[in-house]
Amino acid sequence: MAVDDKILQALGKVAKAPIPTDREASLFETGVLDSFDLVDFVTDIEKEFNVKVPDSDLHPSKFESLAKIAAYLNSHGAA
């Protein structure tokens, strides 16, 4: 399964609105996520990609869009 597909699968578990097709669209501004959902989403991402997201990285700006999430995971060696 591709990285984007895994992200979408994890995001679908917590999404409060339809996930935008634009990879650059803000997941927070579109109502998909809020700061409370971010914690659950990151927990799923950690399990799915076998990565540890440090508390210092648990900030909406790092997980603002599908593109930013994919870039974050790629930079942390997620497969």
Higher per-residue pLDDT: 74 or 1: 74
Q: Please state the domain count of the chain.
A: 1
Question: pLDDT band at 77, cuts 50/70/90?
Answer: confident
Give the whole-number percent of the chain exceeding pLDDT 90.
Answer: 89
Mean pLDDT taken over the chain: 93
Per the structure, the complete domain to which residue 10 belongs is given by 3-75
The pTM for the full model equals 0.91
Residues 44, 8: Cα–Cα separation, whole Å? 11
Evaluate whether 24 touches 65 at the Cβ level (below 8 Å).
yes
Average pLDDT score over residue span 5-24: 95
Domain CATH for 22: 1.10.1200.10
- For 41, other C-beta atoms within 10 Å of its C-beta total 21
Name the 3-class secondary structure at 69: helix
